[in-house]
């Protein structure tokens, strides 16, 4: 896989330009896009503390903040996986956003399950449609599971039915490799 790395600055700027968000979130995202999350030098630490306080105040006063944040992070994830890979920089940036906006494990599962299922169907389908599950593809699934804040059981539960549908199609092919089908079934906890 060849990764195109999407910068936080580009993705956040694009999100603000193409999505309707509260004015305060737009201002916060523009500042993040401009200055990044970790301060480049100690002088920027004070401005970063001010930004964290603005985010905290925004979370406390905007009842719709969680919905806006989850939408923004899902957009960020979708943008980064256009190349079907998450670079280390993208993973780090996503982890920073999740931490900064206090997105907890299980938030996507509870509040954006349908969107997560569609995203996973697209990616998992692409990974196993050839009837093989390579090590780097398995690692990519682990990355998706991590940035979406899913437990392994949640990940498997959200993808299992779709994987079973694909395996039926693959198994019907004369070129189907029974060993690879067993590997895929094992990875998704599907009985043999």
Q: To the nearest 10°, report the CA torsion of 150, 148, 83, 7.
A: -150
If you average pLDDT over every residue of the chain, what do you get? 88
Residues comprising the chain, all counted: 192
Residue 190: φ, ψ to 5°: -100, 125
User: Is the per-residue pLDDT at 147 higher than 90?
Assistant: yes
At residue 2 the predicted structure's pLDDT band, cuts being 50, 70 and 90, is: very low
Higher pLDDT pick, 61 / 115: 115
Average pLDDT over every residue of 54-70: 83
102-120 residue pLDDT tens:
899 999 999 999 999 999 9
Distances (CA, A) of 130 to 102, 126, 135, 163, 181: 37, 8, 14, 12, 10
Distances (CA, A) of 8 to 11, 77, 186: 5, 11, 36
Q: Residue 55: what pLDDT? A: 83
Average pLDDT over every residue of 129-144: 88
Q: Residue 129: what pLDDT? A: 84
Quote the CA–CA distance of 184 and 7 in Å, as a whole number. Answer: 33
Average pLDDT over every residue of 93-98: 92
User: Is the per-residue pLDDT at 62 higher than 80?
Assistant: no
User: Is the per-residue pLDDT at 152 higher than 60?
Assistant: yes
Where residue 141 falls (left for φ over 0; alpha for ψ -120 to 50; beta otherwise) is alpha
Q: Per mean pLDDT, which range of 40-54, 79-93, 138-152, 158-172 is the poorest? A: 40-54
Q: Helix 152-171 vs helix 135-147: angle between axes, to the nearest 10 degrees? A: 140
Q: Residue 106: what pLDDT? A: 95
Q: Residue 114: what pLDDT? A: 97
Quote the CA–CA distance of 89 and 76 in Å, as a whole number. Answer: 13
63-83 residue pLDDT tens:
788 899 999 999 999 999 999
User: Is the per-residue pLDDT at 58 higher than 90?
Assistant: no
Q: Residue 166: what pLDDT? A: 92
Tell me if 68 sits within 8 A of 45, measured CB to CB: no
């Amino acid at each position: 896989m060849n990764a195109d790395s999407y910068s936080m600055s580009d993705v956040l700027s694009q999100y603000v330009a193409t999505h309707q968000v509260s004015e305060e979130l737009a201002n916060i995202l523009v500042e993040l896009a401009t200055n990044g999350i970790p301060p480049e030098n100690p002088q920027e630490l004070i401005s970063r503390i001010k930004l964290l306080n603005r985010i905290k105040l925004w979370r406390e006063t905007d009842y719709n903040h969680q919905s806006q944040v989850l939408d923004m992070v899902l957009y960020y994830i979708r943008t980064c996986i256009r190349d079907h890979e998450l670079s280390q920089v993208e993973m780090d940036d996503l982890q920073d956003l999740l931490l900064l906006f206090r997105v907890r494990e299980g938030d996507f599962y509870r509040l954006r399950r349908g969107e997560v299922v569609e995203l996973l169907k697209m990616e998992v389908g692409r990974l196993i449609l050839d009837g093989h599950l390579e090590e780097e593809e398995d690692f990519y699934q682990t990355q998706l599971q991590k940035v979406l804040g899913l437990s392994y059981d949640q990940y498997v539960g959200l993808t299992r039915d779709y994987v079973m549908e694909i395996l039926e199609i693959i198994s019907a092919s004369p070129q189907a490799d029974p060993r690879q089908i067993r590997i895929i079934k094992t990875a998704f906890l599907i009985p043999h």
